[in-house]
Structure 1
Amino acid sequence: MAWKTLDDIDLAGKTVLMRVDINVPMENGVVTDATRIEKIVPTVKDIQAKGGKVVLLAHFDRPKGKVVPEMSLAHVQGALEAALGSKVVFAADCIGAPAREAIARASGDAVVLLENTRFHAGEEKNDEGLAREMAALGDVFVNDAFSAAHRAHASTAGIAHLMPAAAGRLMEAELRALDAALGAPKRPVVAVVGGAKVSTKLDLLGNLVAKVDHLVIGGGMANTFLVAQGVEVGKSLAERDMAQTAREILAKADDAGCAIHLPIDVVVAREFKAGAANETVPVHACPADAMILDAGPATVAALRDVFATAQTLIWNGPLGAFEIEPFDAATNAAARAVADLTQAGKLVSVAGGGDTVAALNKAGAANSFSFISTAGGAFLEWMEGKELPGVAALG
Structure 2
Amino acid sequence: MPCLLRNGEVIPTIDDLDENYGVKGSKILVRIDINSPIDPRTGRILDDTRIRAHAKTIRELSERGAAVVLISHQGRPGEPDFTSLEPHSKVLSDRLGMTVKFVDDVIGPAARQAIKELKPGEILLLDNTRLVSEEIIEATPEKHAGSIFVQRLAPLFNYYINDAFATAHRSQPSIVGFPMLLPSAAGRVLERELHALSKLYKPEERPRVFVLGGGKVHDTLRILEYLHANRAADRILATGLVAELFMVAKGINIGRKNIEVLEAKGILALVPRARRLLLRGLPLETPVDFVTEHNGEVRVEAVGTGIEGVIRDIGPQTISMYSEMMKEARLIVLRGPAGVIEDPRFRKGTEELVKSAAESNAYVIIGGGHLNVIASNLGLADKENMHLSTGGGALLLFLAGEDLPGLTALAKSARKFFPQLSAKHST
Shared topology, TM-score over 0.5?
yes
Write the deviation string for residues 325-351 of structure 1: whole angstroms up to 9, x where unpaired.
33222222121111112xxxx110001
Look up the equivalent residue of 2:232 and give its one-letter code. K
The answer to whether 1:196 aligns with 2:220 is no
**Structure 1 residues 281 and 34: alpha-carbon distance in aligned structure 2, compared to 1, 3 A threshold:** closer
Look up the equivalent residue of 1:78 and give its one-letter code. K
Look up the equivalent residue of 2:402 and give its one-letter code. K
Counterpart for residue 4 of structure 1: 12
Structure 1 residue 160, shift from structure 2 partner: 1.4
What secondary structure is seen at the aligned counterpart in 2 of 1:89? strand
Aligned counterpart for 1:38 among listed residues 52, 55, 59: 52
The answer to whether 1:383 aligns with 2:399 is yes
The answer to whether 1:249 aligns with 2:277 is yes
**Structure 1 residues 230 and 362: alpha-carbon distance in aligned structure 2, compared to 1, 3 A threshold:** farther
**Structure 1 residues 269 and 185: alpha-carbon distance in aligned structure 2, compared to 1, 3 A threshold:** farther
Write the deviation string for residues 139-193 of structure 1: whole angstroms up to 9, x where unpaired.
1000011111110010001111111000001110111111123455610000010
Counterpart for residue 101 of structure 1: 113
Look up the equivalent residue of 1:372 and give its one-letter code. L
Q: Distance in 2 between matches of 1:377 and 1:74?
A: 26
Q: Does the 8 Å contact 1:181/1:349 carry over to 2?
A: no
Tell me the TM-score normalised to structure 2 length: 0.83
The answer to whether 1:270 aligns with 2:272 is no
What secondary structure is seen at the aligned counterpart in 2 of 1:90? strand
Structure 1 residue 219, shift from structure 2 partner: 0.6
What secondary structure is seen at the aligned counterpart in 2 of 1:191? strand
Unaligned runs of 5+ in 1: none
Q: Does the 8 Å contact 1:89/1:102 carry over to 2?
A: no
Query: Percent identity, aligned pairs only?
Result: 32
Counterpart for residue 417 of structure 2: none
What secondary structure is seen at the aligned counterpart in 2 of 1:142? strand
What secondary structure is seen at the aligned counterpart in 1 of 2:300? strand
Q: Distance in 2 between matches of 1:223 and 1:31?
A: 36
Structure 1 residue 290, shift from structure 2 partner: 2.0
Look up the equivalent residue of 2:372 and give its one-letter code. V
Counterpart for residue 320 of structure 1: 339
**Structure 1 residues 84 and 314: alpha-carbon distance in aligned structure 2, compared to 1, 3 A threshold:** same
Q: Distance in 2 between matches of 1:162 and 1:183?
A: 32
The answer to whether 1:348 aligns with 2:368 is no
What secondary structure is seen at the aligned counterpart in 1 of 2:189? helix
Counterpart for residue 174 of structure 2: 155
Counterpart for residue 136 of structure 2: 124
The answer to whether 1:374 aligns with 2:390 is yes
Q: Distance in 2 between matches of 1:82 and 1:325?
A: 32
Instruction: Please provide the CA RMSD for this pair.
Output: 2.2
Q: Does the 8 Å contact 2:74/2:85 carry over to 1?
A: yes
Structure 1 residue 6, shift from structure 2 partner: 0.4
Aligned counterpart for 1:24 among listed residues 15, 36, 40: 36
Q: Distance in 2 between matches of 1:108 and 1:115?
A: 21
Write the deviation string for residues 246-300 of structure 1: whole angstroms up to 9, x where unpaired.
1012123x1xxx52111122223214xxxx423323212224x422222222211
Q: Does the 8 Å contact 1:87/1:109 carry over to 2?
A: no
Structure 1 residue 360, shift from structure 2 partner: 3.6
**Structure 1 residues 23 and 199: alpha-carbon distance in aligned structure 2, compared to 1, 3 A threshold:** closer
Counterpart for residue 285 of structure 1: 305
Q: Does the 8 Å contact 1:99/1:137 carry over to 2?
A: no
Counterpart for residue 246 of structure 2: 225
Counterpart for residue 332 of structure 1: 351
Q: Does the 8 Å contact 1:322/1:359 carry over to 2?
A: no
Counterpart for residue 212 of structure 1: 233
Q: Does the 8 Å contact 2:66/2:122 carry over to 1?
A: no
Look up the equivalent residue of 1:390 and give its one-letter code. G
Counterpart for residue 101 of structure 2: 89
What secondary structure is seen at the aligned counterpart in 2 of 1:232? coil
Look up the equivalent residue of 1:14 and give its one-letter code. S
**Structure 1 residues 293 and 363: alpha-carbon distance in aligned structure 2, compared to 1, 3 A threshold:** farther
Q: Distance in 2 between matches of 1:248 and 1:367?
A: 40
Counterpart for residue 164 of structure 1: 183
Q: Does the 8 Å contact 1:135/1:159 carry over to 2?
A: yes
Q: Does the 8 Å contact 1:280/1:296 carry over to 2?
A: yes
Look up the equivalent residue of 1:348 and give its one-letter code. Y
Q: Distance in 1 between matches of 2:377 and 2:24?
A: 44
Q: Does the 8 Å contact 2:193/2:389 carry over to 1?
A: yes
The answer to whether 1:137 aligns with 2:156 is yes
Aligned counterpart for 2:165 among listed residues 142, 146, 157: 146
Q: Distance in 2 between matches of 1:23 and 1:197?
A: 21
Q: Does the 8 Å contact 1:24/1:33 carry over to 2?
A: yes
Q: Distance in 1 between matches of 2:318 and 2:294?
A: 21
What secondary structure is seen at the aligned counterpart in 2 of 1:394? helix
Displacement over 3 Å in runs of 4+? 181-185, 358-369
